[in-house]
Amino acid sequence: MKPLAILAGLLALSLVGCKGDSTNTTGTAGGEQPGKGGASKSIKVALLTPGPVSDSGWNAMAYEGLVAIKNEQGATVQNQEAAGEGQIKDAMRQYAQDGYNLVIGHGFEYNGVAKEIAADFPNTAFVSSSGAQSGPNFGAFRFYLEQGFYLAGMMAAGMSKTGVVAVVGLDVPSIRSTFKGFIAGAKAVRPDIKIVEKYVPLPGTDIAAYKQSTLAAIDEKADFIMHQANQGAQAVFDAAKEKGVLCFGANANQNNNPSGVVIASAVIIAKPAFLDLAKEVAEGKYKGRVQLFGMDKGAIDFVVNPAMADKVPGELMSKIQQARTEIATGKLVVPKDEF
């Protein structure tokens, strides 16, 4: 009788193990040791994400960057979910011991842990998406999504009929910071705009909660919704459609969502940043530092939905265009939190 139970347990565990899905390929020039010369040598890259990479949002974006590294540079890649300090430490050490040249942690929470671990593994580069600390072989690259959110805020406040706009998202510091950008943009156009903020608690996989919080925001008269809901985005859009209000897309270009309520998207173009990073590491040129990727580097964009562009008043559109130029040239600095 007992062996059956053990079998069932093993089955369950093996399935969970599969969750950190491996996208292994054998590198084109495999077999070399990490950290030794050769510009065209293939490297091993690992990605750690705070949530499932199938979230159509923040984590999916990093995963697509990783796949690009694999396809375009022939790197051996692997990824897994790692949340919480203990898990992150284990995963980072494991990959470093396995000879991975680059370990990317997709969130600010990986930055502090990297600082601790990097000293023990000088041949591995540890890079986190956002974070403020750096050393010889660890650092951070941060996407300045606040810039795109600022322009979305301008559009929302400039077009709102009720004078109320809302933000709905997961309750983590990086997302709060992007909402700060949205609020600053909204207040720049209309100082008396009312902002409704609704936050869903971690781990943020509760799609129904995003729908419920969006409905609550619309109940408070919000007629434009900015979201950071990742896999809950569809629920936000559907709630908006039900109540006849408009939304913005976030992270990816969501303008052609079938709901037809996305008027514009604040977009991160992450692929070039991921490819450049892997290239630096492959060439042995990586130096730990904190990089900021914004509109000036073409990493952040604000894309208006062509099908709905006629709804935006011309005067507001030119204001947004002007702000966009000022942001790209550094004349206008969008607020962001450091964490």
Partner 1 sequence: MIATILLFSVPLILAAMGEVVGQRAGMIDIGQEGKILIGAFVGFIVAKITGSLIVGYALAVVAGVALGCLSTWFTAKLQLDQVVVGTALNLLALGATSIAFRIYVGDSGKLLSIDKAPALFGLDPVVYLAILSPAVIWFVLMKTSWGLSVRASGEYPPAVEAAGISVIRRRFEAAMLAGGMSGLAGAALSIALSGSLGEGMSAGRGFLAIAVVTFGRWRAPWVAGAALLIGVIDAVQYRFQGQAILGFKPPLQLWQALPYLGALLILFALGRGAGAPAALGRAYNKER
Does residue number 128 form part of the binding site for partner 1 (CB under 8 A)?
A: no
Q: Is 11 in the site for partner 1 (CB under 8 A)?
A: yes
Amino acid in the structure at residue 79: N
Q: For residue 290, what are the contacts with CB-CB under 8 A and spacing of at least 6? A: 131, 132, 133, 134, 139, 140, 141, 142
Strands lying side by side in the sheet with 138-143: 76-81, 44-49, 102-105, 125-129, 138-143, 290-293
Whether the Cβ atoms of residue 150 and residue 333 lie closer than 8 Å to each other? no
Contact range with partner 1 by CB under 8 A, out of 89-97, 227-235, 267-275, 326-334 = 227-235
Q: Which of 32, 171, 276, 280 binds partner 1 (CB under 8 A)?
A: 171
Residue number, 41 or 106, with CB nearest to partner 1: 106
Task: Output the CA torsion 42→141→233→218 (10° steps).
Answer: 180
Q: List the beta bridge partners of residue 125.
A: 102
116 contributes a contact to partner 1 by CB under 8 A: no
Is residue 68 a contact residue for partner 1 (CB under 8 A)? no
DSSP states of 303-332 = EE-GGGGGGS-HHHHHHHHHHHHHHHHTSS
In the bound state with partner 1, the residue whose beta carbon lies nearer, of 19 and 161, is 19
Does position 263 bind partner 1 by CB under 8 A? no
C-beta closer to partner 1: residue 136 or 203: 203
**Site size for partner 1, by CB under 8 A?**
56
Pairing label, strands 164-170, 138-143: unpaired
Query: Of 12-20, 179-187, 275-283, 308-316, which part binds partner 1 (CB under 8 A)?
Result: 12-20
Q: Could you say whether residue 313 binds partner 1 (CB under 8 A)?
A: no
Please give the structure tokens belonging to residue 105: 């942690």
Cβ nearer to partner 1, comparing 1 with 39: 1
Tell me: does residue 56 bind partner 1 (CB under 8 A).
Answer: yes
- Is there binding between residue 39 and partner 1 (CB under 8 A)? no
Give the angle subtended at the CA of 149 by the CAs of 144 and 154, to the nearest 5°.
135
Identify the DSSP state of 135: B
Q: How many CA atoms lie within 13 A of 32 on its CB side?
A: 19
Residues 70-109 that bind partner 1 (CB under 8 A): none
In the complex, the residues that contact partner 1 under the rule CB under 8 A are: 1, 4-5, 8-9, 11-19, 21, 23, 52-56, 60-61, 63-64, 67, 171, 196-199, 201, 203, 205-209, 211-213, 215-216, 219-220, 231-235, 237-238, 254, 257-259
